[in-house]
């Protein structure tokens, strides 16, 4: 197996139990060619649950104004196979996998399904090696921006469009004033939504878009 030090550095976790990491990085096709070697399918099952819980806790705490249905949609979009594969690619996870010759020859290291499954397995291995708090910390570091983007996207909860449609009935329109503060790596934006020069709502976010969405949500809750 390839030296995993760069992967562990990217994760922010050095494994105490190297066998856990090795099994999490082993595809079933490799195990089929090497009898007695374990593979990562059972790890996927646990990793899926750990990821889901971490994202659920984050959504519940961060978006108290969102109803259950919207939270469920955002969670589903955030932990989809597409997102799992994208995070795996950001870690170059495919390069560390052990897989059978046939699977490798067919481009298995780049297959989204294999990468997504391996990412779940890796989360499970971290959980088993260091406990849920550590696994949650790593999940949120890798996923927080993605979850926030889903929460602010039109497909999740587009408050800005709803506010604009509400005001359009009276031929009015909202205006947003956004200010940022803090260092680039921890930038926080504050948005104020004005209607006819009057403040209707205020919100904060890690991006201008998220702050504007939060301001619009506040306006709809208090004025809508």
Domain residue spans of the chain: 5-156, 158-223
Q: What is the pLDDT of residue 1?
A: 65
Looking at 83, 117, 120, 212, which residue is catalytic?
120
* Residue 129 among the catalytic residues: no
- Note the pLDDT tens digit of each residue in 160-197: 888 888 888 888 999 999 999 988 777 889 999 999 99
* Residue 120 among the catalytic residues: yes
Strand order in the sheet with 174-181: 174-181, 188-195, 198-205
Looking at 44, 48, 103, 214, which residue is catalytic?
48
The reply to whether domains 5-156 and 158-223 share a CATH topology is no
**In contact, 202 and 191? CB cutoff 8 Å:** yes
CATH 1.10.1520.10 fits 5-156, yes or no: yes
Q: What is the pLDDT of residue 197?
A: 93
Question: From CA 201, how far away is CA 6, in angstroms rounded?
Answer: 45
The CATH class of the 158-223 domain is alpha beta
Give φ, ψ of 4 to 5 degrees.
-95, 5
Residue 121 in this model has a pLDDT that exceeds 90: yes
């Amino acid at each position: 197996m390839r030296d995993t030090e760069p992967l562990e550095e990217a994760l922010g976790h050095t494994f105490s139990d190297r066998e856990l990491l090795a099994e999490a990085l082993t595809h079933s096709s490799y195990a089929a060619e090497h009898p007695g070697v374990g593979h990562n399918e059972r790890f996927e099952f646990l990793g899926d649950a750990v990821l889901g819980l971490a994202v659920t806790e984050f959504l519940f705490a961060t978006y108290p104004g969102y109803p259950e249905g919207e939270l469920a949609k955002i969670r589903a979009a955030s932990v989809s196979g597409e997102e799992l594969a994208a995070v795996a690619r950001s870690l170059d996870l495919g390069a560390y996998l052990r897989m059978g010759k046939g699977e490798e020859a067919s481009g298995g290291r780049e297959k989204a399904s294999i990468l997504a499954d391996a990412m779940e397995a890796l989360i499970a291995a971290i959980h088993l090696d260091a406990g849920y708090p550590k696994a949650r910390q790593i999940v949120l570091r890798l996923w927080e921006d993605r979850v926030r983007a889903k929460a602010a996207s039109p497909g999740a909860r587009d408050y800005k469009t709803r506010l604009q449609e509400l005001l359009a009935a009276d031929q009015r329109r909202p205006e947003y004033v956004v200010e940022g503060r803090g260092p680039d790596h921890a930038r926080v934006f504050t948005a104020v939504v004005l209607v006819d020069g009057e403040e209707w709502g205020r919100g904060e976010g890690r991006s201008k878009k998220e702050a504007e969405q939060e301001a619009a949500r506040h306006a709809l809750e208090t004025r809508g």
